[in-house]
Chains A and B, each alone.
Chain A
Amino acid sequence: EAQVTQNPRYLITVTGKKLTVTCSQNMNHEYMSWYRQDPGLGLRQIYYSMNVEVTDKGDVPEGYKVSRKEKRNFPLILESPSPNQTSLYFCASSLGDGDEQYFGPGTRLTVT
C-alpha cells in the first residue's frame, strides 16, 4: 500500500529534551515536506527536500532540523524543544515539482 508513515503518532516531552520524528514514504517520491498545523494559523511548511541531500527552509524553520540521507526517509529533529513547538506535525511527499502532496497521519507533539 502506497503511504507516508510517521512515528511516533503522539509524543509528550519536556523542554530541552532532543527528539526526532521519523517520516518514511514508499512511493519513490522525490519531494518531501514537514508542516506544522496550529489552530487559526493553518498548515505552515517547516522544511522541504527536493532530493537526497537537498533541503530548504519553509516558512517556519526556526528550532527545527531535517536531513535527507535516503530518498524514502525525511526525519524532523527538534534539538531543544520549547513549549511553542507544541503542535500537530505532518509529513508529506510528492512525485515531483508542483505535484500533489500525500500526507502522513500526523504526530501530535506536546512540549511541557
Chain B
Amino acid sequence: QKEVEQNSGPLSVPEGAIASLNCTYSDRVSQSFFWYRQYSGKSPELIMSIYSNGDKEDGRFTAQLNKASQYVSLLIRDSQPSDSATYLCAVNDWTTGNQFYFGTGTSLTVIP
C-alpha cells in the first residue's frame, strides 16, 4: 500500500509570489509522478508529469523530483488568483500494473 502525503494547507501567497507545494511518498518503486489542479466541484486537470530525478519546467510551473528522498514538489512562479485551487500529487508504479495513488491535496489561495 503506497502512501502519498501532502500538507493540506491552506497555503496562502500574494499575487506574483512563488507558491511551493510538497509531496512525499512511501516507497521507492514508484515510477511516475503527477501534479493535478482541481477547482472546487470540478474534475482534476493535469499540470505536470515527471518521471526522472531533477527539475521539469513548463511555463510558470516547475516540478522537482528526488527519488532518493521520495519527494516531489511543484513550484508556481508569478502566482495568479486563478491558480487558487487544490493541488493533488499522484504516484504510479506502472511496472506492477496501473494503480495510482493520490495525496489528499493542498489548498492554495493566491491573494490579489
Q: Which residues of A contact B (CB under 8 A)?
A: 31, 33, 35, 40-45, 48, 50, 56, 58-59, 90, 94, 97-106
List chain B residues, Cβ under 8 A from A105: 42-43
The answer to the question of B66 belonging to the interface, with a C-beta cut-off of 8 Å to chain A, is no
Given contacts A40-B104, A98-B31, A100-B34, contact A45 B99 (CB under 8 A): yes
Q: Do the beta carbons of B46 and A101 come within 8 Å of each other?
A: yes
List chain A residues, Cβ under 8 A from B14: none
The answer to the question of B97 belonging to the interface, with a C-beta cut-off of 8 Å to chain A, is yes
Q: Do the beta carbons of A50 and B97 come within 8 Å of each other?
A: yes
Q: Do the beta carbons of B88 and A42 come within 8 Å of each other?
A: yes
The answer to the question of B25 belonging to the interface, with a C-beta cut-off of 8 Å to chain A, is no
The answer to the question of B92 belonging to the interface, with a C-beta cut-off of 8 Å to chain A, is yes
List chain A residues, Cβ under 8 A from B32: 98-99
A50 to B31, CA, bound (A): 17
Q: Please provide the 4 A-B residue pairs with the shortest distance between their CB atoms, ordered closest to farther.
A: A98-B94, A97-B94, A42-B104, A98-B32
Contact of A48 among B42, B46, B98, B102 (CB under 8 A): B98
List chain A residues, Cβ under 8 A from B42: 105-106
A86 to chain B, nearest CB (A): 16
Given contacts A90-B43, A90-B44, A106-B43, contact A42 B102 (CB under 8 A): yes
A42 to B103, CA, bound (A): 6
CB closest residue in chain A, given B104: A42
List chain B residues, Cβ under 8 A from A56: 97-99
Q: Do the beta carbons of B104 and A41 come within 8 Å of each other?
A: yes
